[in-house]
Structure 1
Amino acid sequence: MASLSPEQRELTERGAEIIRAGGLVAFPTETVYGLGANALDAEAVKRIYETKGRPSDNPLILHVSSIAMTERLVEINWRARLLMEKFWPGPLSIVLPAKEIVPARTRGGLPTAAVRMPDTAVALALIEKSGLPIAAPSANISGRPSPTDAATVRQEIGDIIPLVIDGGDTRLGLESTVIDMTGEHPVLLRPGGLPKEAVEAALNMEVLLPQDQKIIRRSPGTRYRHYAPSIPLRLTAPHAIPVEAENWAWLGTKIPNGAPRIKIIFKDDAEYAKELFRALRTLEKSGAQIIYAELPEENGIGRALKDRLTRAAGG
């Protein structure tokens, strides 16, 4: 992990003061930029929801800097601890029974909370200097593509929050994987930056898919339309673009049939995932009237990529 620059050290000090005072700070993680507040301050968390226009029953992820901090917030079982020790810091959020110290507003009124340790020096320094867990969804207006650079954050909400800490482009570009560890078997609530297969290998057991909508509610980003560009997005194979399509854009790893106004071709699914949100924002400003996007195979990072594309297209 890269060390902090002098400017970032100064900004994280200032950011920690803002967090302790109940304010909001946008900061980089390895997944996307987060909009953070003191997770233990219900009024500060309320400002996150108001700034984003986020539904109040959509829970937030609590960002921590150590397992010891996590123990203050949730009940940790041995399997969850194993995952923390193996994959933290990293793009894995774990849902566990919440302790009373976590306000109901932070957890969307649920008895559970999702926790993770981000993998950037800026995020960890901000948490450590504030001495607090930081609740942080993506730093954008709710429903829009998540921001993967500071400039996008500034364009979207920079005029209504006191500080945006620039950490450059994010490494992964998709949000964290969310695993429910409250029961006997782990359940994948949201695919993300850590493949499901890696969790299964670590636990030596299958990670189940959710069968109950009440369980899915425990994860952010699973019940409302997310990641949507301002023009329609349709999912298709590269050879299946409608012949009557006009003024369209293409997004994928293969060359499509037809003649798009603009096309973005990625070398593989990893690059597709990393650049997805930035590409959606680029294409919505291209003058095209509709985006056609290639659906990836549902394995590895492709599972998370397919999830985000499906949600961006409105399900």
Structure 2
Amino acid sequence: MNTKLTTDVDYCAKLLQNGQNIAIPTETVYGLAAIITNEKALKHIFTLKQRPQNNPLIVHIHELAQLEALVTHIPEQAVRLAKAFWPGPLSMVFPKSKLVNQVISAGLETVAVRMPNHSLTLALIKAVGTPIAAPSANPFTRISPTQAQHVLTYFDQQIPAILDGGSCQVGLESTIVGFDQEQPIIYRKGGVSQEAIEAIIGQVQVAKSNSAIKSPGMHLKHYSPTTRLILTEDISAEIEEQRSHYQHIGVISFSSFNHDKAEVIKVLSQTASLAEAAQQLYQTLHDLDQLQLDVIITKALPSHGLGASINDRLQRAKFQ
């Protein structure tokens, strides 16, 4: 089975309706999709990704009427967040209805739902006629895909089609917000900043990194290149230390950086834009991971706005 890159929504809809898995574009990252009514296709997502069975999937919808069928309760804060950020890079966790297969919820009594901000995928969900479940289209713990080509590298000849929607505009997975007895809590930082959420509903909690898994995206090791990644407070000092062990050193810098002992330096944003840095992060990791470097060195970005989400990804991607 050769994997086809296509922009044909109807063709992809038919594949999903027939119980196939395909890759879909979103504004965050590419997803590996199945319709929510086909248990075999849902289980195959876990097989393809080598994903732990306790890691839930996110359900994607194209209109709010689909949400009402998936959940049994919608908190008032969730309504406000949906009005502010849907379609967009925000997932919310709700008590699930009987329509949601236990494979999707990984045995939990909740389901994570979002409305992606990508015209092709919204049209696809509408054409399919049912919501679709889709985690990121990468093997478990590997770098998330922000281009169709990334997905092809991972899953060529394992899925029939990739709906090619170009480069992902946000470049980080969705922020995931749940409601613990109506108290909003961020389970995963992502494409909507904590500050933006708090501007709509007031103060929110952030789940601790060692918390029990209550939503997708809570595993500690994730988003990782095969090349060793070191997260440091001083890139120049780290280069000097690593030079005694390694010859081929790559650097990821938020803004301009120079060092004559680094083999390659990738700058996430020449203008120090956190939004641009987020969009470029995974592409940069993919690029460096192809260069057969001994080590990649980087440091945390400013911890406000999307910088906090980027730092979360670097923390999970680093060598452990």
Would the alpha carbon gap of residues 285 and 93 (structure 1) be closer, same or farther in structure 2, given more than 3 Å must change?
same
1:39 aligns with 2:41: no
Stretches of 4+ aligned residues off by more than 6 angstroms: none
How big is each residue's C-alpha offset from its partner over 1:97-126, in whole Å with a ceiling of 9 and x where there is no partner?
A: 111110111011111110000000111011
Kindly provide the amino acid, as one letter, of the partner of residue 222 in structure 1: M
Of 119, 122, 128, the residue aligned with 1:121 is 119
Kindly provide the amino acid, as one letter, of the partner of residue 263 in structure 1: I
How big is each residue's C-alpha offset from its partner over 1:224-273, in whole Å with a ceiling of 9 and x where there is no partner?
A: 41111111000113343242323210001241555201110122232222
How big is each residue's C-alpha offset from its partner over 1:254-303, in whole Å with a ceiling of 9 and x where there is no partner?
A: 41555201110122232222111111111122232000012112210001
Q: Distance in 1 between matches of 2:210 and 2:39?
A: 26
Q: What is the aligned partner in structure 2 of residue 106 from structure 1? A: 104
Q: What is the aligned partner in structure 2 of residue 72 from structure 1? A: 69
Q: What is the aligned partner in structure 1 of residue 262 from structure 2? A: 260
Q: What is the aligned partner in structure 1 of residue 3 from structure 2? A: none
Kindly provide the amino acid, as one letter, of the partner of residue 40 in structure 1: T
Of 220, 228, 235, the residue aligned with 2:231 is 235
Kindly provide the amino acid, as one letter, of the partner of residue 63 in structure 1: H
Alignment of 1:19-30 (within 5 A): 19-30=16-27
Of 254, 261, 286, the residue aligned with 1:281 is 286
CA contact (8 A) 2:239 2:297 kept: no
CA contact (8 A) 1:146 1:227 kept: yes
Instruction: Please report how far the alpha carbon of residue 14 of structure 1 lies from its aligned counterpart in structure 2 after TM superposition.
Output: 1.1
Kindly provide the amino acid, as one letter, of the partner of residue 249 in structure 1: G
1:202 aligns with 2:183: no
How big is each residue's C-alpha offset from its partner over 1:146-176, in whole Å with a ceiling of 9 and x where there is no partner?
A: 0001111111102100111111111011000
Would the alpha carbon gap of residues 149 and 212 (structure 1) be closer, same or farther in structure 2, given more than 3 Å must change?
closer
Segments of structure 1 that go 5 or more residues without pairing to the other structure are 1-6
Q: What is the aligned partner in structure 1 of residue 14 from structure 2? A: 17
Q: What is the aligned partner in structure 2 of residue 3 from structure 1? A: none
Of 285, 291, 296, the residue aligned with 2:296 is 291
Segments of structure 2 that go 5 or more residues without pairing to the other structure are 1-5
What is the DSSP-based 3-state SS (H/G/I as helix, E as strand, rest coil) of the residue aligned with 1:293? strand
Q: What is the aligned partner in structure 1 of residue 191 from structure 2? A: 193
Q: What is the aligned partner in structure 2 of residue 222 from structure 1? A: 218
CA contact (8 A) 2:227 2:292 kept: no
Kindly provide the amino acid, as one letter, of the partner of residue 262 in structure 2: P
What is the DSSP-based 3-state SS (H/G/I as helix, E as strand, rest coil) of the residue aligned with 1:255? coil
CA contact (8 A) 1:60 1:136 kept: yes
Q: Distance in 1 between matches of 2:110 and 2:101?
A: 11
Q: What is the aligned partner in structure 2 of residue 4 from structure 1? A: none
Q: Distance in 2 between matches of 1:242 and 1:189?
A: 34
Instruction: Please report how far the alpha carbon of residue 212 of structure 1 lies from its aligned counterpart in structure 2 after TM superposition.
Output: 8.7
How big is each residue's C-alpha offset from its partner over 1:165-223, in whole Å with a ceiling of 9 and x where there is no partner?
A: 111111011000000124222101100001111111111x2011125955x51221212
TM-score where L is the length of structure 1: 0.92
Q: What is the aligned partner in structure 2 of residue 249 from structure 1? A: 250
Of 25, 48, 55, the residue aligned with 2:52 is 55
Q: Distance in 1 between matches of 2:319 and 2:208?
A: 21
CA contact (8 A) 2:125 2:131 kept: yes
Q: Distance in 1 between matches of 2:221 and 2:258?
A: 26
Q: Which moved more, 1:246-255 or 1:108-117?
A: 246-255
What is the DSSP-based 3-state SS (H/G/I as helix, E as strand, rest coil) of the residue aligned with 1:297? coil
CA contact (8 A) 2:25 2:121 kept: yes
TM-score where L is the length of structure 2: 0.91
Q: Distance in 2 between matches of 1:276 and 1:39?
A: 30
Would the alpha carbon gap of residues 262 and 211 (structure 1) be closer, same or farther in structure 2, given more than 3 Å must change?
closer
Q: Which moved more, 1:115-124 or 1:272-281?
A: 272-281
Q: Distance in 1 between matches of 2:111 and 2:30?
A: 20
Number of residues of Structure 1 aligned to a counterpart in Structure 2? 305
Q: Distance in 1 between matches of 2:107 and 2:101?
A: 8
Would the alpha carbon gap of residues 213 and 264 (structure 1) be closer, same or farther in structure 2, given more than 3 Å must change?
closer
CA contact (8 A) 1:61 1:114 kept: yes
Q: What is the aligned partner in structure 1 of residue 134 from structure 2? A: 136
Q: Percent identity?
A: 37
